[in-house]
Structure 1
Amino acid sequence: MPYPAPVLVCSTLALAALTGCALQAPAAAPPAAQVATSSSAPAAPASAPPEAAATPKAVASPPLQSGLSARLMYELLVGEMSFDLGDPQQGAAYLLDAARRANDEAVYQRATEMAIQSRAGPAALEAVRAWRQAFPQSLQATRFELQVLLALGRVSETATPVKTLLDALPATEKISFIAALPALYQRVANKDEALQAVETALADAQKDPALAPVAWTTVGRLRLQQGDRTGALVAATLGLNAGPESQWPALLALQLFSGTGENQAEPLIKRYLAGAEAKPEIQLDYVRALLERGRRADAQTELTALVTRWPQYPDGWLLQGLLAADDRHDAPAEQSLKHYLDMLKEQAEQPGDVRAAGRNQAELTLARIAARRGDDATAKKWLDQIDSPEQLLAAQVERANLLARQGRLDEARQAIQAVPERDPDDARLKLLAETQLLRENGQAQQALRLLNAALKQSPDDDALLYDAAMAAERLNRTDEMERLLRRVIKLKPDSAQAYNALGYSLADRGVRLPEAKSLIEKAVQLAPDDAYIQDSLGWVEFRQGQLGRAQRTLQAAFDKRPDAEIAAHLGEVLWALGERDSALSTWREGLRLDPNNQTLTKTLKRLQVTP
């Protein structure tokens, strides 16, 4: 690991520590007589000449005594020279010997640093343990020992330095130290040893009411790293029992609920949120976890409770606006997003304010809402306010969509092409945005041509292959589409979207239905909460004549993700079941969500229905 070296008057940090010389350049060179003065210099003669007698007036105190012997100086200089010349192990050995002779903590630290830099684990451990033996109260030595032990994989020996550090820290720092331990042990290969060491170190903390919640949370996170979800859940429960108002067990419960799908963690989250000291950030993360699980109605309920309980918390209004816009409830979405922006204006911005990303996200969504109602001028006004480099491409894509709707497709493409490229992947992202624009505006042939040219340079790019398959499908070149999607599946076996797209294409054409269902079921395994994949499953069930099962599947997908295409499929199944009123109601909702959706409009035209 690199160690930045300060600019020293002395040749080394160790030399500075021993001699007491300055860490900055002196204002002027001292008189030669002073430079010569040291602990071994002879005393000045009594009969000094008058000129010499006047010189000491510049030095009011006796000269600084140095413990630097010739041998120590030699070891320090040779150690540093060895390090500089590429032999850090030899340098560390010289410095360690010097540290023992001088009994100087700074030299021990330098010896340890050299050994670490040379990747000489045993030498580093020898140096740091000599340091600790010489200075048993040194927290810095203990920190270095912990670092070296972890690097050497001697995890079982880390309990003592962890406990030593914890006991020595002030009360205000203990919680953050305990919370940081899982990250410290994250890369340890032997997770069992890591858990045992930390549990040993935290045994007393688990009995301390002030530390028990975070101590149990840390143990639970380590159990989760070990793959023990049940043990992590037990730790979260014990942590919450120890401190119902503490956020730490709730965060662990959230990690279990959102990351592993542990449903038994949800009551712990709700129990924490019912407390008077609950934080809005926890409830917001809970809302996001519910959305990821496809529980949209529950997420909306929690979000409403959040903005009611904490009306001054801006991020709640942002998510409420984004969710409403996603459901095409444009009026309440606008209201929430504008309220969010007004709240940001009332709060003083700071350099590097992370809220800039949220502000740009709100402005981009407001632009899309304005564009949906045909107000291009307002949409452009919102887009012009976006200033984040990360959102620049998204903003230009929206500008391109505005131009394309006005029939100015060439200008729309130029708008995307003009976006500056900040890193090598930006050119690829711009190409994907441009080809999607072409595909959605009746230029699938041109899109496929651009994608094929790019694939000659990057034949294994799964995103390019997938988009090329979608363009081929628009051109009814189903054999080419299938070839491209199978290539994606071969390159990326966990691509749920590729399995789903191929299976849906077969189902929609009513061919090879057993294979279609098998492909879609594989996609469901890979992405069980994806409403669009569930829509495909319901559609293939409908094609196979399983109307009741198809209705249940499609209704669950639509409840999870209101969408015009899912509405088209669900409405058709309801129509086939004779539930005409329900079908018409579903189609009307689909038209509200997206009146231009091709699947929905084609379905209504084919069935000769006007909802």
Structure 2
Amino acid sequence: MTTSTEISRDMMNFRLRHSILAIFPLLAACAHAPQPVADSAPVHGGKTNLEQIAEAPKLDLPNVALTDRLLYEFLLGDIAAQRNKPELAAHVYLDLAKTTRDPRVARRAAQLAYEARQFDAAVDAFKLWEELEPSSPLAKQMLLTLLLSGGKLQEARPYLDSVLQADPANAGRTFMSVYPLAARSTPDKSVVLDWTIEVTHPYPKVAEGHWAVAQAAAAAGKNDLAQAEIHEAVTLRPEWDAAAVFEAELYLNSDPQKGLALLKEFLDDHPDNKELRLFYARALLNQKQFSASRDQFERLLKSSPGSPDLAFAVALISMQMGEYDRAEQELKQALSGGGKEGNAVHFYLAQLNEARQNDAVALEEYRQVKGGEYAYAARLREIALLDKVGKYAEAREVLHGVVAKNDQQRVQLIMVDAQLLREDKKYQDSYQVLTQGLAKFPDNPELLYQTAMAADKLDKLELFEQLIRKLMKIAPDDAHAYNALGYSLLDRNMRIPEAMKLVEKAYQLAPDDAAIIDSMGWGNYLLGNLDKSLEFLKRAFAANPDPEIAAHLGEVLWKRGDKDGARKVWADSAKANPDNEALKAVMKRFLP
């Protein structure tokens, strides 16, 4: 690390090698031609800081003798800056500026402190520069910017007033610049609002001032004030599309029809504003006004006929409206345009064919999705379609080629793999996949539940209960965990009172879940409460005509003497689910 002592030693060697006559021009150059204070845009004026510095008027300079001490400090400051020691350079130059009262040195000190991100020193330097060179607009602008960025709104106020008074014609641009600085630096949005109202109040005819107040009011949750102020801005500048959009946005959540009407009114007056028309089209889409939204996208497409993105948007809306033939043509148009990513188009062509129940074509389209954001979803749909026709091995082959991007996807792939094996009746293999996954993600609630259910299927009752109780601790509001253990005990006719407490807890957490309602019905049946049992089971079956619920409902109907009702429930369910084991077992018991 280079210290000030080392820099001083270098300076002594420097002085031994060079005469004062060689050094003096260097100091003059440093004093007269400093670097720009910042490369950010000025508050107003349209010129860069460098341009403004270059055009600065000649100054009345102090008559200060170049003593050895000053020479030493100039050298110290410049060598520190050259050796990438901005804090030391800024400190030295600020001391020099206070000593010499030279505006050029103050300007250089302000630059160094700003670049070193020393807020307090930069404020002091800019204040000194502004004091020594009061005619410099850049000094005021940068000081104003610095104070606002530091959240010192009231301290910045007189400098803002000075900037506004010096250039009232550019007051609108100034308000557009200073409001974001104040908003970002001050957490209390009500403070920002009050300050913005105060500084813009003397300029009632400046639309940007009302825009700034509207922005501040919206951020502070004062929507009525925001709506009134932005409306005033639009009235003052009726051609200002950004203000028109903001006014519409303020209404789209609370009164969407008014927000849409405002956008339409502005578009009627400015029909060639493509950006606003695109915003209007999207706003209509968000309000599920699909036909009107598509009309707007089509108008944009007519003005840009080669845009695959617009054709793609029109196609997706047609899909949403169920107009699949039209959507297919529009998707193919988007695909032929070449600009829209082909992977996305193939994905939606696959979705379209799935909606048409044309699974073979859908499968081929999913396979055309080779990468991009839709690749993962396409592989899952490809696996699902193969699973649907019983091609479990092929589905697993596809699955094992999928590269997960995060732990959520890794867990999902583990569970899909286990499901494929389970549907292929390879229960032990399915259990093995889940236990291996659980070893990697021991506290994942979904994996805990699925592994527990696989253990239950293999009659590993102790492990099943252990996993479910761990899940209850991790996710105490998981209704399915309580239901799984409670129903497992009921199904085995074990610890019935405890099982009912678990099922009742699940029912409290999820009273509309059909599986849990079924468990309540079955538990009451085992307790001999047939009427209550029938009530629960009818509710469960109405919510979800699952074959296992049908098996339970039929059995209770039979026990209550309604054998015809039981036969009908079983027969109807068996027709729809001919391979269900629970249904076949109950029918075998009662209908030998």
Where 2:442 maps in the other structure, the secondary structure is coil
Report the alpha carbon displacement of residue 417 of structure 1 after superposing the two structures with TM: 2.0
Q: Deviations over 1:403-436 (max 9, x none)?
A: 4455543343232222345567765554344334
1:401 aligns with 2:399: no
Pair 202,475 (structure 1): closer, same or farther in 2 beyond 3 Å: farther
1:365 aligns with 2:351: yes
1:196 aligns with 2:211: no
Report the alpha carbon displacement of residue 382 of structure 1 after superposing the two structures with TM: 0.9
Report the alpha carbon displacement of residue 447 of structure 1 after superposing the two structures with TM: 2.9
Report the alpha carbon displacement of residue 269 of structure 1 after superposing the two structures with TM: 2.0
Q: How does 1:511-522 map to 2 (within 5 A)?
A: 512=499, 515-519=502-506, 521-522=508-509
- 2:479 alignment partner in structure 1: 499
Of residues 386, 405, 413, the one that matches 2:396 is 413
Q: Max radius of gyration: which structure?
A: 2
Question: 2:335·2:342 contact (CA, 8 Å) conserved in 1?
Answer: no
Pair 221,95 (structure 1): closer, same or farther in 2 beyond 3 Å: same
Take 1:523 and 1:536, find their aligned partners in 2: how far apart are those partners?
10
Take 1:604 and 1:217, find their aligned partners in 2: how far apart are those partners?
67
- 1:318 alignment partner in structure 2: 316
Of residues 364, 368, 376, the one that matches 1:381 is 364
Q: How does 1:3-152 map to 2 (within 5 A)?
A: 18=33, 70=71, 73-80=74-81, 84=84, 89-97=87-95, 101=102, 102-103=104-105, 105=107, 108-116=110-118, 122-127=120-125, 129-130=127-128, 135-137=136-138, 139-149=141-151
Take 1:461 and 1:93, find their aligned partners in 2: how far apart are those partners?
55
Take 1:273 and 1:553, find their aligned partners in 2: how far apart are those partners?
43
Take 2:538 and 2:211, find their aligned partners in 1: how far apart are those partners?
46
Report the alpha carbon displacement of residue 457 of structure 1 after superposing the two structures with TM: 3.5
- 1:341 alignment partner in structure 2: 331
Report the alpha carbon displacement of residue 96 of structure 1 after superposing the two structures with TM: 3.7
Take 2:174 and 2:540, find their aligned partners in 1: how far apart are those partners?
52
- 1:271 alignment partner in structure 2: 258
Q: Deviations over 1:531-579 (max 9, x none)?
A: xx66567667877849999999999xx8xxxx9879x99xx89x99x9x
- 2:444 alignment partner in structure 1: 461
Take 2:82 and 2:249, find their aligned partners in 1: how far apart are those partners?
50
- 2:7 alignment partner in structure 1: none
Report the alpha carbon displacement of residue 114 of structure 1 after superposing the two structures with TM: 0.8
Question: 1:221·1:252 contact (CA, 8 Å) conserved in 2?
Answer: no
Take 1:538 and 1:466, find their aligned partners in 2: how far apart are those partners?
19
Question: 1:541·1:549 contact (CA, 8 Å) conserved in 2?
Answer: yes
Where 2:117 maps in the other structure, the secondary structure is helix
Pair 380,357 (structure 1): closer, same or farther in 2 beyond 3 Å: closer
Take 1:131 and 1:598, find their aligned partners in 2: how far apart are those partners?
88
Where 1:108 maps in the other structure, the secondary structure is helix
- 2:375 alignment partner in structure 1: 392
Take 2:533 and 2:170, find their aligned partners in 1: how far apart are those partners?
66
Q: Deviations over 1:155-211 (max 9, x none)?
A: 7767788999999978589669868976x35xx6xx4x3331234214566966666
- 1:216 alignment partner in structure 2: 214
Pair 536,410 (structure 1): closer, same or farther in 2 beyond 3 Å: closer
Question: 2:196·2:216 contact (CA, 8 Å) conserved in 1?
Answer: no
Take 1:213 and 1:433, find their aligned partners in 2: how far apart are those partners?
53
Where 2:258 maps in the other structure, the secondary structure is helix
Take 1:307 and 1:503, find their aligned partners in 2: how far apart are those partners?
47
Question: 1:363·1:386 contact (CA, 8 Å) conserved in 2?
Answer: no
Question: 2:349·2:362 contact (CA, 8 Å) conserved in 1?
Answer: no
Question: 1:317·1:336 contact (CA, 8 Å) conserved in 2?
Answer: yes
Question: 1:236·1:253 contact (CA, 8 Å) conserved in 2?
Answer: no
Pair 145,241 (structure 1): closer, same or farther in 2 beyond 3 Å: closer
Q: Deviations over 1:440-486 (max 9, x none)?
A: 44444323322222332332234433443454466576765564355
Identical columns (%): 16
Write the letter of the residue equivalent to 1:397: L
Q: How does 1:440-459 map to 2 (within 5 A)?
A: 440-459=423-442
Question: 2:157·2:199 contact (CA, 8 Å) conserved in 1?
Answer: no
Question: 2:141·2:163 contact (CA, 8 Å) conserved in 1?
Answer: yes
- Count of residues paired in the alignment: 457
Pair 75,598 (structure 1): closer, same or farther in 2 beyond 3 Å: farther
Pair 552,393 (structure 1): closer, same or farther in 2 beyond 3 Å: same
Pair 541,454 (structure 1): closer, same or farther in 2 beyond 3 Å: closer
Take 1:477 and 1:333, find their aligned partners in 2: how far apart are those partners?
51
Question: 1:307·1:316 contact (CA, 8 Å) conserved in 2?
Answer: yes
Which TM-score applies when normalising by structure 1? 0.55
Take 2:323 and 2:485, find their aligned partners in 1: how far apart are those partners?
34
Report the alpha carbon displacement of residue 90 of structure 1 after superposing the two structures with TM: 2.7
Take 1:194 and 1:221, find their aligned partners in 2: how far apart are those partners?
6
Report the alpha carbon displacement of residue 344 of structure 1 after superposing the two structures with TM: 3.2
Pair 202,16 (structure 1): closer, same or farther in 2 beyond 3 Å: same
Pair 457,346 (structure 1): closer, same or farther in 2 beyond 3 Å: closer
Q: Deviations over 1:3-39 (max 9, x none)?
A: xxxxxxxx9xx96992689xxxxxxxxxxxxxxxxxx
Pair 348,413 (structure 1): closer, same or farther in 2 beyond 3 Å: closer
Pair 410,250 (structure 1): closer, same or farther in 2 beyond 3 Å: same
Write the letter of the residue equivalent to 2:189: A
Pair 316,454 (structure 1): closer, same or farther in 2 beyond 3 Å: same
Report the alpha carbon displacement of residue 383 of structure 1 after superposing the two structures with TM: 1.6
Q: Which runs of 5+ in 2 are unaligned?
A: 1-25, 37-60, 236-242, 266-278, 300-309, 525-531, 563-567
Pair 507,360 (structure 1): closer, same or farther in 2 beyond 3 Å: farther
Report the alpha carbon displacement of residue 112 of structure 1 after superposing the two structures with TM: 1.6
Take 2:416 and 2:396, find their aligned partners in 1: how far apart are those partners?
9
Report the alpha carbon displacement of residue 386 of structure 1 after superposing the two structures with TM: 1.6
Report the alpha carbon displacement of residue 362 of structure 1 after superposing the two structures with TM: 1.6
Take 1:404 and 1:387, find their aligned partners in 2: how far apart are those partners?
20
Take 2:214 and 2:585, find their aligned partners in 1: how far apart are those partners?
61
Take 1:564 and 1:320, find their aligned partners in 2: how far apart are those partners?
33
